[in-house]
Amino acid sequence: MFFSFFLPFFISLLITCAAIDSINSTHPLRNGDTIVSARGEFEMGFFSTPGLPQNRYFGIWYKKISSNTVVWVANRDSPVTNTSGVVSVTSQGILVLNGTKMIWSSNSSRSVSNPIAQLLDTGNLVFRDGNNIIWQSFDHPVDNFLPGMKFGIDLDSGLQRYFTSWKSVDDPSTGKFTYRTDRGGYPQSLLWEGSKVTYRTGPWVGSGYSGFPKQDSTELYRIEYVISPREIYYKFDLNDNSESAITRLVLTPNGDTQRLIWNKQTHVWSVYLSYRVNDCDDYEFCGGNGICNINSSPRCECMKGFHPKFQENWDTADWSGGCARNTQLDCKKGDGFIRVSGVKLPDTRLSWYNTTLTLQDCRKLCLSNCNCTAYSNTDFRGGGSGCLLWFGDLADMRGYSDDGQVLYVRMAASDSEESKKSSTSRVVVIVIPLLAAVTVILVLLLLYAFRKRKLKRKGVLRLDGEATNKIGKNELDLPLFTILQIARATNGFSSDNKLGEGGFGPVYKGMLDKGQEIAVKRLSKTSRQGIEEFMNEVSCIAKLQHRNLVKLLGSCVEQGERMLVYEYMPNRGLDSIIFDTELCKSFDWLKRCNIINGIARGLLYLHEDSRLRIIHRDLKVSNILLDHEMNPKISDFGMARIFGGSETEASTTRVVGTYGYMPPEYAIEGLFSTKSDVYSFGVLVLEIVSGKRNRGFKHPAHNHNLLGHAWRKYNEGKHLDVVDPAIMESSNHYELFRVIQIALLCVQQYPEDRPSMSSVVLMLSSKIELTIPKEPGFYSERNPEQNHSSSSKCDSESVNEISITRLTPR
């Protein structure tokens, strides 16, 4: 839903005078002429937009890039309606648009001896007298914020530098939204729609804005925020090693502030950061004293000690009335405070601050003023410093699970934490030892009962553990378990221990005598089809050791039983988390990123680093298991193939695998190689990033699957549309962009275009430049695999299980 702001403006230019970067009194600039900055970064002249071809605007745009992106307009509200526009400078220090408007005029009677208006490579148009800058366009921004510009207030001169949106993408005239720095109290930035505040960037709290956990990319640029007696401003500059990068902030006509970065490969502006992404970003969505939390349902709740002012409205999801105190403050009787952590600090327009005071002083100050309702630090770096006081209702707060600041809210003595502390601690003294004693007794009882039950089972099962199997013993060196051991571990294959039912039999959870937890895959005796896969899996994985591969502890081949014993993965399959509407919320970008990296390393090991070259052939989200630290482990080697040293590609007449993850050459021709796994990896990455399945992906606007959707959005420069909203805020958008591009490289149609896993690992872990992905394979819904009738089979997916889908090539 990002506003498409990249429409090229077809500027009708006739002549280009590349050598000249300035206008002087003898050389004005006429309609049709342009001026280019010294290194050719920016260009200046008259332009029209496709929507308003009759209007001529004088402005500045990027010269170096193919999209004619206008960054500054002089006469947005007074276009020249014919071709007689002229821009000239005079000795009075005047830069005028002939006939229509003065861009700027000096009031001083002092006449400028050598007036020059020069376009700099930063995109700044300066009017100067010798080296003395008298006026510059950076002091009068329109909607674009370029590196080196300042956004804020010069307190000496009173100059306020702020942004006003265009009316529409096609119309540069003054739009509805302005984004300005407010210094009513502690400085913060407010977005106004007319006279109404619609969004607030929280106050600066040392390392960033409060309530702005969206990381900005720091590889590209650094941010500076200054609050001094002379000026207040926000500014960003490109890092020295990324000077060729092109990035800007823009206030879009629909009131979003976006960070855009020019993608040199696709030649579009990519949205890296959007300031307003959800309801909680709307100003005061939950009313006064309410806290908005995007991950909770309902979104709004009152702070502790407060209740909805209008309960009925509140219950019908109209939260605008906000919250009121349960107990009114009573300054004379003495109030206390409660600590509210992980919040976006409230609106600071009614606040007071002093950056040198400590939190203790701050508390005293707040208590000494009966109107003070809360206090906090101004800077949260280190242990925190400075003092910020609020008066009146606390407006526009948000809650964050693991980000945000700490606020101390004033409460009547009866509601505050201090008054409860003493009584709570008394309770604790009694309750804790009591609880401990009860727990110990319970555990002992349970242990006793458990042992008794185990002994009973042992007798009943009476399985003999003599038989051995030559595969296990002689050839593979894999520890052998007896049926008795496994039966004991799994409580006699009790149904309570069953984790799931796989393609060729059930999977049980168990615990060995030593206390080690295991997962047992038991090939069902009636299943003929599984034997081959079973043997295959044993021979494939027996020798493999990698932290991102599930570990095979041993096998059991006895009395017609075939079982594989794995380490147990407490967090089950990745699919049970990322495709779950609730669980996915706790699964932030960092976790997903670690998982992507882990899978890539595991796969690299299979392909290149182990002694064997192994192709997994059934890589998918449900085959990625998670250990207790959420490390991913690739599992299920039932379809894997071992390749000889020089062999790189093979073909089969029996195509096995899962729809949605199979590359075209495999699904259609039965050809497979390490590049088939790379394709599946790409699909997996897109599923992890989007939280959606490739198969069955639906979008109202088109018939593509997830790959097609990602490909489309990538080419439109709107890759963030692909991203799971649950990770939007926790993610570094620069990393996201790279990961999506890498995934698209992996799913390219032709195997030879796809990178090897070693380059994938390199691309993921470094900042090396990525190539441009070509069209993905199978990205349209109307691909051959979709027509196949047996495709529903693979929907049954569970832990430690193979879902085999057979497809005989025609």
Ligand X SMILES: *[C@@H]1O[C@H](CO)[C@@H](O)[C@H](O)[C@H]1NC(C)=O
For ligand X, the binding residues (CB under 6 A) are 20, 24-28, 80-82, 84, 86, 88, 98-100, 107, 354, 356-357, 369-371
Question: Residues 620, 658: contact at Cβ < 8 Å?
Answer: yes
CA angle 414, 417, 420 (to 5 degrees): 65
Residue closer to ligand X (CB basis): 19 or 317: 19
Closest CB 131 distance from ligand X, rounded Å: 15
- The nearest distance, CB 709 to ligand X, in angstroms, is 48
| Closest residue by Cα to residue 707 from 774, 630, 801, 621 | 774
CA proximity to 178, closest of 191, 187, 189: 191
End-to-end CA distance of the chain: 42
Nearest approach, Cβ of 344 to ligand X (angstroms)? 25
Q: Which contiguous run of DSSP H or E holds residue 746?
A: helix 733-746
d(CA 525, CA 651): 30
Question: Sign (positive/negative) of CA torsion 21, 23, 28, 30?
Answer: positive
Residue 174 Cβ vs ligand X, minimum distance, rounded to whole Å: 19
357 vs 707, beta carbon nearer ligand X = 357
Q: At what angle do helices 674-690 and 589-604 cross, to 10 degrees?
A: 170
CA dist., res. 162 & res. 151, Å (int): 6
Q: How far is the CB of 346 from ligand X (least distance, A)?
A: 17
Under DSSP, the state recorded for 240 is G
In order, the DSSP letters of 465-524 are -----HIIIIIS---B--HHHHHHHTTTT-GGGEEEEETTEEEEEEE-TTS-EEEEEEE-
10 Å CB burial of residue 774 (0-12, 13-18, 19+) is middle
Q: Which is nearer to ligand X, 172 or 213 (CB)?
A: 172
Q: How far apart are CA 149 and CA 123, in angstroms?
A: 10
Specify whether the CB–CB gap between 554 and 480 falls below 8 A.
yes
**Other C-beta atoms lying within 10 Å of the C-beta of residue 133:** 14
618 labelled catalytic: yes
Contacts of 682 (CB under 8 A, 6+ apart): 707, 742, 743, 744, 745, 746, 747, 754, 776
The SS3 of residue 738 is helix
Q: In the complex with ligand X, which residue's Cβ is closer, 211 or 288?
A: 288
Q: Of 84 and 648, which has the nearer Cβ to ligand X? A: 84
| DSSP structure string for 531-563 | HHHHHHHHHHHTT---TTBPPEEEEEEETTEEE
Residue 371 or residue 559: which is nearer to ligand X going by CB?
371
Give the three-class secondary structure for 706: helix
What DSSP string runs through 636-678?
--TT-EEE-SS--EEE-SSB-S-TTT--HHHHHH-EEEHHHHH
Q: Which of 187, 478, 169, 231 is nearest to 353 (CA)?
A: 187
The residue among 7 and 365 lying less far from ligand X, judged by its C-beta, is 365
We find the least distance from the C-beta atom of residue 87 to ligand X, in angstroms, to be: 9
CB of 363 to ligand X, least distance (A): 14
Helix then strand then coil, in percent of the chain rounded to 5, is: 25, 30, 45
One-letter amino acid for residue 769 of the chain: E
Choosing from 618, 627, 636, 677, which is the catalytic residue?
618
Residues whose CB is less than 8 angstroms from the CB of residue 636 and which lie 6 or more positions away in sequence, other chains included: 537, 618, 623, 800, 801, 802
Q: How many helices and strands, by DSSP H and E, does the chain display?
A: 13, 45
Distance of closest approach, residue 370 Cβ to ligand X, in angstroms:
6
328 or 356: whose CB is closer to ligand X? Answer: 356
The least distance separating ligand X from the CB of residue 442, rounded to whole angstroms, comes to 56
**Closest to 180 (Cα-Cα) out of 229, 231, 234, 126:** 234
Contact 639, 536 (CB under 8 A): yes
| Nearer of residues 371 and 765 to ligand X, judged by Cβ | 371
Residue indicated by tokens 């193939």: 641
- The two beta strands, 94-97 and 86-90, are antiparallel
When computed from its CA atoms, the radius of gyration of the chain, rounded to whole angstroms, is: 33
Both tokens of residue 346?
Answer: 């409230």
Minimal distance in Å, beta carbon 143 to ligand X? Answer: 24
**Two tokens at 633?**
């482990």
Judged by CB, which is closer to ligand X: 20, or 238? 20
Closer residue to ligand X (CB): 367 or 612: 367
- In the bound state with ligand X, the residue whose beta carbon lies nearer, of 121 and 588, is 121
Among 68, 48, 69, 50, which Cα is nearest to 58's? 48
Closest approach of Cβ 31 to ligand X, in Å? 10
| Contact criterion met (CB below 8 Å) for 667 and 607 | no
Cβ-in-10-Å burial (0-12, 13-18, 19+) of 612 comes to: middle
Q: Closest CB to ligand X among 215 and 385? A: 385
Q: In whole angstroms, give the CA distance from residue 258 to residue 144.
A: 10
Q: Which residues are catalytic?
A: 618
